[in-house]
Amino acid sequence: MGLGLTNIATINQAQTLSPQVQLTIKLLSLNNIELEGYLEKKIEDNPLLIENQSSKEQELRIQKFSDKYSRNSSNLDLLNNISYAKSLREHLLDQLLISRMSNKEKIIATYLINTLDEAGYLTENDEIICNKLGIENEIYEEILKNLQNFEPTGVFARTLSECLHLQLREKNLVNDDLKKLLINIELIAEGNFKELSSRLNIGREDLFRLINTIRKCNPKPGLNYSRDPLEIIAPDIIIEKNLSGVYSIKLVQNYFSNITVDQTYDDIISDSKKKKDEFITNHYRDAKMLISSIAQRQKTLLKIAYEVMLQQRDFLESGINHMRPLNLDKISKITSLHISTVSRSIQNKFIETPRGTFEMKYFFDKGTYGEEKDRQISSKTIENRIKELIKNETSSNILSDDKIVTLLKKYDINIARRTVAKYRTKLNILPSSKRKNHYL
């Protein structure tokens, strides 16, 4: 058999997405704020796209995060609420500038300022700093001592105990008992007051008096100066309830709903089509495709949001303890949309409801079957029930995981002890043996 090169033609079937579908998918994954930014750029690039000024302008609702799950509505005038405040670094550099340190000390101090985190703590250990700067530990400690006298008191600390000690020292409150308490401060975080009382050899009242003294200090003094960006959300969908108890759902109509093709170019467009002027015809095609994709995005988003809130009607009426399990597949089948479309639609989108504003994906939650095998219970409902039970326990009735299992059954929640432990750990709640230490 001879060796050589041959051409072999094969036929393969491949499915490709049209530019229109690709654009719709892209827009569907954007929330209102991201979509505004995208469309502003498109209007700059395409002379045929304009915002229809004759359309009624709709107010964009801006809300500040105030809670992990719910946010209280408040309209903010962002421009009027922006004010310049010095950062922690700028505040410390201003003090360094007028300090009596030598130039060499100021160079070292500047390095230390740049190693601080937002809370005001040093992020590198002493040995690494001394090795990097090539200085003796005595020189480093002397400079650090001077810097720890800067405002706000407590900055340049290496540990929480040192931060609190600096603040207590300034107030002339440091004594032997407080020193011992600061050494064992991890026991306060654990809530192990019995062990703490034993180590300090003091009674309940004296211990809590010391703890209250410490709690008046600021464990993160640098945060008073850090300028974290305001985290805002713009709801994409609004659920409202009228006086008759009927819910309505609508999209937030922002300026992109008014984007249209500039009609003053009609004659030019017609001539360009006849003459096959690619510049105008391409821009016209892109403009029409963009407008069509925006409309399809809005229609799809509203369709999915409607079904999601229909499934979670009990939550709207009665709260988190009535949340229903829900997954992407179920919404996909109800809406006859591909599961990937549903997934893109809920990403980074928010729904404003009478119970607060939530991410759409918050309403998607796995569940478990209760005693009634035909009824599933949301994991968020289970978490909340466990949190409520533990919140209401008393010093004489600390609930073990086994006891919680029993109490949950009256809510038709039938789960194992290890499952309770898993939820409790997720909620950052200590086991019963350690919660007892909160009570002396």
Helix (H) or strand (E) holding 293: helix 278-311
| Closest by Cα among 434, 430, 387 to 408 | 387
Cα angle at 58 between 349 and 76, to 5 degrees? 70
Q: Distance between CA 68 and CA 384 in Å, rounded? A: 14
User: Per-residue pLDDT tens for 97-115?
Assistant: 888 888 888 888 999 999 8
The span from the CA of 66 to the CA of 75, in Å, is: 14
pLDDT string in tens for the chain (440-residue length) = 555 566 666 666 555 678 888 888 888 888 888 888 888 888 888 888 877 665 444 443 433 333 333 333 333 333 333 344 678 888 899 898 888 888 888 888 999 999 898 889 998 889 988 988 888 999 999 999 999 999 889 999 999 999 999 999 988 888 888 888 888 888 887 777 888 888 888 888 888 888 888 888 888 898 887 554 445 667 889 998 888 888 889 888 765 667 887 766 666 666 655 555 677 778 888 888 888 888 899 899 999 999 999 999 998 888 888 888 999 999 999 999 999 999 999 988 899 888 888 889 889 988 775 555 556 888 889 999 999 998 888 878 889 999 999 999 888 888 899 999 998 988 888 888 777 766 55
* Residue 220: partners with Cβ closer than 8 Å, 6 or more residues away: 118, 119, 120
Sign of the four-CA dihedral 326, 328, 334, 335: positive
Please answer whether residues 405 and 420 qualify as being in contact, where contact means their C-beta atoms are separated by less than 8 angstroms.
yes
The pLDDT value given to residue 245: 84
Smallest CA-to-CA distance from 39 within 264, 262, 232, 255 is with 255
Q: Which pLDDT score is estimated for 39?
A: 86
Predicted confidence at residue 163, as pLDDT, reads 92
Dist. CA 119–CA 87, nearest whole Å: 11
- Per-residue model confidence (pLDDT) at position 343: 92
Kindly report each contact of residues 176-181 with a partner whose C-beta sits within 8 Å and lies 24 or more positions away, as own/partner: 177/202, 177/206, 177/210, 178/210, 178/213, 178/214, 181/210, 181/211, 181/214
Name residue, tokens 């009607």.
313
The owner of tokens 């922002």 is 254
The residue type found at 114 is: N
Domains and CATH numbers, the chain: 19-63+233-363 (no CATH), 88-224 (1.10.10.1330), 368-438 (1.10.10.60)
- 358-388 pLDDT, tens digit per residue, is 889 889 988 775 555 556 888 889 999 999 9
Among the listed residues 143, 206, 141, the one whose alpha carbon sits nearest the alpha carbon of residue 178: 206
Rg of the chain on CA atoms, in Å: 31
Structure tokens at 179: 């020193």
Q: Which two tokens stand for residue 192?
A: 């192990």
Report how far residue 176's alpha carbon sits from residue 195's, in angstroms, rounded to the nearest whole number: 18
**Torsion angle in degrees (nearest 10) through CA of 82, 67, 349, 240:** -100
Q: List beta partners, residue 397.
A: 394
Q: What is the distance between the alpha carbons of residues 198 and 421, in angstroms, rounded to a whole number?
A: 29
Q: Which residue has the tokens 């998607």?
A: 364
